[in-house]
Amino acid sequence: MTKHIKENDRLRKIVESFPKLTVTVLADLVADEFVFGEISRVSREAPVLILKHRDRKVVPGGGANAICNLADLGVNVLPIGIVGDDEPGRLLLRAFRHKRIPVNGIFKDKSYTTVTKTRILAGFAHTAGQQVVRLDREPAEGPNSHLRRELVLAARQYTRASDALLVSDYGYGAATPTLLNVIREKRGLDKVPVTLDSRHRMLEFSGVTAATPNESEVEEVLGIRIGNNWERLLAAGDQIAGEMNLESLLITRGKDGMVIFPRRHKPVDIPIYGGDEVTDVTGAGDTVIATFTAALAAGATAEEAAQLANYAGGIVVMKRGTATVSRQELLEALDKTPPVIREH
C-alpha cells in the first residue's frame, strides 16, 4: 500500500507540473468532421439508407488533436503546421484560439487543402449514431518549398523556448523525416526530447528520443504479425528501439493496454485503465503521445510517462468522437486507481 501511495504521489506531482511546461508540436493538422443523420428509410435508387441531416461538427483531429490534448492537460503548446484557406482550416484555427493556443506557427496557404476526414453517422432518434462511411479530402501534393522553409524556421525558434518537441506525422508533408533533420541542423534541437507518432514511416526518422506506435503500425513497418505472441512483441520492440536508437518505445495494444521499452531496462506490460469496454478509439493515439510527451518533459521516467499515458488513453476511449483528456480528469483517475503492471 505504501508503495502505491508513493507511486501515485509521484505521478500526481508530474501532472501538477504540466502548466510549467512548454511543448512545440510539428504536426499534420487534420479537421475531423462528424455528420449525424437520422435513419429515414431505404432508398429506391440503390440499397442504401436515406438519412435526415441532424447535426454537423468539425473538431481538431490528427496532429491538431494532439495539440488540443496538450492544452487541456495544462501544457503551454506551440503548434506548427499548415492549413488551407478553406472552411475546415478556419474552423481549426478558431478551435485553437478558443483554447488560447497561439496560431502564429500555423501557416495558411491558398494552394493547400486542409486535410478533412468526414465521418457519416447514422442512427434512430434518441440513439447514438454508428459510423457508416468516411470520406477523406487531402491536398493533391505536400507543402511547397516556401512553406517547408517557414515550418523549419518556426520549429527552430519555438524549440529554443520549449521543454520538448512532439512530431505528429500523418503523411501529409508537414512533419517529415527530412524536415526534422533540417530542424536539427545548426543546434536546433539541443537537449530537447523529441517524441514521434508516425503513421507509416517511423523507421525513416532519426534523432528521436521516444516513439509511440500502435501494434498494427509496428507490424506494418516490420512486415510481421504479432498477435498474442509476447516473445514476438518483445523482439519487435527491441528491433525498433535499436534501429531508431530510442531512449524509450511505447507500443499501444488497444484493449490489451501498452508496453513500454525503456533503454537498459526490462519492458513493462501495462493493462488498459478502466477495463476494455471501449466506446470510441478515434484519436486515442493523439491523447497517448500528448500525455507521454508532457510527462517526459516534466522529468518522468519512461515507465511513469507510460503509466500516465495509459490513464489518459483509458479515459479518452470512453468518449465519443475525437476527444481530449483534461488535467483534472487525469488527477481524478490517479486518486481512484493505483498504477498496475502485468507480470510475465
Q: Which three cell numbers stand for residue 206?
A: 532519426
Strand order in the sheet with 22-27: 106-109, 76-84, 22-27, 164-169, 194-198, 210-211, 248-252, 258-262, 268-270
Encoded amino acid at 76, one letter: N
Q: What value, to the nearest 5°, has the Cα angle with vertex 263 and ends 12 and 158?
A: 65
Using N-to-C axis directions, what is the helix angle for 2-16 and 302-316, rounded to 10°? Answer: 80
Nearest to 138 by CA among 108, 118, 166: 118
In order, the DSSP letters of 218-271 are HHHHHT---TT-HHHHHHHHHHHHHHHT-SEEEEE-GGG-EEEEETTS--EEEP
Residue type, 139: P
Find the catalytic residue in 32, 109, 169, 286: 286
- Specify whether 280 is catalytic: no
Torsion of CA 104, 108, 112, 118, to 10 degrees: 80
Cβ pair 247, 211 in contact under 8 A? no
Phi (first) and psi of residue 280, to 5 degrees: -160, 125
Contact 116, 140 (CB under 8 A): no
Classify residue 224 as exposed, middle or buried by CB count within 10 Å of its CB (0-12, 13-18, 19+). middle
Q: What are phi and psi of 145, to 5 degrees?
A: -60, -35
Which phi and psi angles does 160 have, rounded to 5°? -60, -25
Which positions are annotated as active-site residues? 286
